[in-house]
Amino acid sequence: MTGVVVHGLTDLPLDARPAVVTIGKFDGVHRGHRAVISTLRKRAAAQPGDARAVVVTFDRHPAQVLAPDRAPAPLLSVTQKTEALIEAGVDLVVVLPFTTELAGLTPEQFVQRVLVSALGSVEVLVGSDFRFGARGAGTVATLRTLGEQHGFAVGLVDDVLEVDGQRVSSTSIREALGAGRLDEAAAALGRAPRIRSLVVPGHQRGRELGYPTANLAHEAEGLIPADGVYACWLRVGGDRFGAAVSVGNNPTFGDVREKTVEAHAIDVSIDLYGRTVELEFVAYIRGMQKFPTADALAKQMGHDEIAIRGVLGLPPHGPA
């Protein structure tokens, strides 16, 4: 059965199925999050009456409303996040707009409006440090008291895991990507980090150097990793191509002020302008460098391609 995504509480499925619910930001849908979802699915399967596994999440990090100066950059867009949650086996994802009105609900109002009236919850799974309601007034103890009143159980399930001795968290993944530690980020995510964006016209310098690139729009979905050159898979439609990807402001030419992402699809010639592509970052190849000449940059790009072919398992000299 395919999972369903709804935004807000007005378009929920109209049936009487009970719900086992968990609530959270789920930024990145990393391995810890997927462990929570696995428990959620098991608890839903254990309920009578064909219970639905439900994730309640938000359309932005709550800090964007409550403390904008401290709001972290999202690891995934809302669309990417909901896709990942459905892929993980969630039956229903409810995306709540995190507004000042939502933030101002008392714990009792949140429970009544969301968990009881809208979802018909029979069990709610939260972390031990879960807080909800205006000014974080609601705790796990509050939720249990309200659950007794409204007829739902409360279970504890944390998204804390350790991978190679490192605690898995959205914060640690952001730090790893920001430092170019791609292997660390991928291990915590359980998959390659990815971004998605529209391809737009660029300076055409890659074409002049013999390496035509697809330039991604600056409003990319997902967190762009540290400046550097990467081995990536480029996905467009149902196709996948190996790609050499440059992240940064191209210091050799010195006239690119904004951080840009340029992808050179290896062994194919394809017009990607106006199309949406996804990049999966497989390996960090080298840092961004300033070269004395365009020819020196082109020579290094050749070396980069050889390394990237090896990482991705592509033929060393292109197709026969």
Domain residue limits, the chain: 4-160, 193-312
pLDDT in tens, 218-231: 889 999 999 999 99
| Cβ count near 29 (within 10 Å) | 28
Q: Please give the Cα distance from 199 to 218 (Å, whole number).
A: 10
| Cβ count near 246 (within 10 Å) | 23
Which residues have a Cβ under 8 Å from the Cβ of 27 and sit 6 or more positions away?
61, 72, 74, 75, 76, 81, 170
Higher pLDDT, 165 or 136: 136
Quick one: pLDDT at residue 1? 54
- The amino acid that residue 238 corresponds to is G
Residue 250 has pLDDT above 70, yes or no: no
Mean pLDDT value across residues 246-275: 79
Residue 232 has pLDDT above 80, yes or no: yes
Cα of first residue to Cα of last residue in the chain, in angstroms, is: 43
Mean pLDDT value across residues 111-130: 95
Q: Please give the Cα distance from 79 to 87 (Å, whole number).
A: 12
Residue-level length of the chain? 320
Q: Name the pLDDT band for 256 (thresholds 50, 70, 90).
A: low
CATH no. for 4-160: 3.40.50.620
- Is the separation of the CB atoms in 209 and 297 below 8 Å? yes
Quick one: pLDDT at residue 204? 53
Q: Please give the Cα distance from 260 to 273 (Å, whole number).
A: 16
pLDDT in tens, 181-216: 999 999 999 999 999 999 987 655 544 444 678 889
Vertex 130 angle, CA 127 and 136, to 5°: 175
Residue 254 has pLDDT above 70, yes or no: no
Quick one: pLDDT at residue 153? 97
Q: Name the pLDDT band for 257 (thresholds 50, 70, 90).
A: low
Residue 269 has pLDDT above 70, yes or no: yes
CATH no. for 193-312: 2.40.30.30
Vertex 166 angle, CA 165 and 171, to 5°: 175
pLDDT in tens, 9-68: 988 887 878 999 999 999 999 999 999 999 999 999 999 888 999 999 999 999 999 999
Quick one: pLDDT at residue 2? 80
Quick one: pLDDT at residue 11? 86
The pTM (predicted TM-score) of the whole model is 0.89
